[in-house]
Amino acid sequence: MKNQEHRPKIIVTGGAGFIGSHTVVELWNVGYEPIIVDNFSNSQPWIFDRIKRLTSKGLQCFHIDCCDEEKMEQLFLKLGQIIGIIHFAALKSVNESIEQPEMYYKNNLNSLQTIINLKEKFNIPDLVFSSSATVYGAAEQLPVTEDCNLKPATSPYGETKQLGEKMIREQLETGAIILRYFNPVGAHPSGLIGELPIGVPQNLIPYLTQTAIGQRDSLKVFGTDYNTQDGTCIRDYIHVLDLAKAHIAALTRLLSNRKTDVYNIGTGEGHSVLEVINTFEKVSGIDLRVKYTNRRAGDIESIYADCSKASLTLKWDLKYTLGDALKHAWQWEKGLHETKAEAA
Ligand SMILES: NC(=O)c1ccc[n+]([C@@H]2O[C@H](COP(=O)([O-])OP(=O)(O)OC[C@H]3O[C@@H](n4cnc5c(N)ncnc54)[C@H](O)[C@@H]3O)[C@@H](O)[C@H]2O)c1
């Protein structure tokens, strides 16, 4: 294990969030010094203690809004040589973005512009940007490849991802990798970090684990009449640690080829909502209370990734199954519940 002072520094914006925290741990494990920048608008400061338990007591975290270019510049000056930035910091709720579009455009686009400006100003070689499968909308072909046509965004959130990709391509011909994530799920196998939704979860897995623990009355399945094997929607669920490792692979790729490029990061396999529920029941031994309701506006029927580009070019592959991801998410939920019970 390298000493702190010999580790190349990587800025991780949004590093206290779900995907960021797992990526910070992986960066540390392979010899980088990740430095977290987060405004805690969608994360809890106590998660940083957990991250330190998985990495080092000396890990640094700065409570800064990435849209504040002056403060970010002061930080970059103070930190000295930085070899890369992974930019996770963004607001991510589709529904909230429809209710409060201005907040989404401001936060997601201004923070990215700050990062691009500072990358150029400080000559930081590499940037990895979090995009999303939402850019494909209802894809014309499955599995979806990176060269499929992008569809006009159906939410301000989706639009910030499309515009974000465009900003990177127009302003950075080299030194950037855009990763289009499919559905990140799971948690760290230690049970110390995981997804921490504020309020009612928007995503299937945290809603499911909160139902299993008794925090929610029942799990709603939106639509059972889709043209899929069991009538429910199909998504590509990827374990958050496999996703975290894709960021390390992207940084490694940029060392040998600096051309700006884009990659799908999923598993290549689609699973229906009912398959997820059945797998969860199997790994947890719990019978979920499920309510079947009508389709939800805006949901697409089926999407899953073709990840052959990432697997061949980034030399990245998967370690975890859907069952592992659900087992780890359940372990995390139970741990959270125990922590809350102790604090009460
Ligand atoms: N989780 C998903 O399903 C998913 C899917 C596709 C893409 N993404 C993208 O991946 C990235 C990370 O997602 P996540 O699931 O970890 O989300 P998250 O909300 O758990 O983490 C994002 C972090 O960024 C921070 N943040 C937001 N705006 C900030 C700002 N202006 N300055 C500093 N910190 C700020 C939040 O406090 C939070 O800790 C986001 O860009 C998201 O849009 C997520």
Structural domains in the chain, sorted by start: 8-343 (3.40.50.720)
Tell me, in angstroms, the distance from the centre of ligand 1 to residue 116's CA: 17
Mutate to test the pocket of ligand 1, among 11, 41, 131, 262 (most ligand atoms within 8 A of CB): 41
Residue type present at position 66: C
65 phi and psi angles, rounded to 5 deg: -85, 125
Indicate the DSSP class of residue 174.
Answer: B
Tell me, in angstroms, the distance from the centre of ligand 1 to residue 251's CA: 19
Q: Which of 2-6, 75-79, 115-119 has the lowest mean pLDDT?
A: 2-6
Query: What's the predicted TM-score (pTM) here?
Result: 0.97
Is 105 in the active site? no
Residues 194, 187: contact at Cβ < 8 Å?
yes
- pLDDT at residue 3 above 90? no
Mean pLDDT of 144-162: 95
Give the torsion through C-alpha atoms of 128, 139, 196, 276, to 10 deg: -130
**Cβ–ligand 1 contact at 20 (below 6 Å):** yes
Whose CA is closest to 12, among 59, 68, 50, 53?
59
Confidence of residue 208 (pLDDT cuts 50, 70, 90): very high
Specify the pLDDT at position 38.
98
Question: What digits encode the pLDDT tens for the residues 209-266?
Answer: 999 999 999 999 999 999 999 999 999 999 999 999 999 999 999 999 999 999 999 9
**Active-site option among 104, 136, 157, 181:** 157
| CA–CA distance, 251 with 230 (Å, rounded to integer) | 40
Q: Which atom of ligand 1 is nearest to the CA of 16?
A: 39
Mutate to test the pocket of ligand 1, among 38, 47, 240, 247 (most ligand atoms within 8 A of CB): 38
Confidence of residue 2 (pLDDT cuts 50, 70, 90): low
Specify the pLDDT at position 140.
87
Specify the pLDDT at position 297.
86
Specify the pLDDT at position 341.
74
Specify the pLDDT at position 339.
82
Q: Which residues contact 155 (CB under 8 A, 6 or more apart)?
A: 94, 97, 98, 134, 298
Q: Which atom of ligand 1 is nearest to the CA of 19?
A: 16
Whose CA is closest to 187, among 16, 15, 14, 19?
19
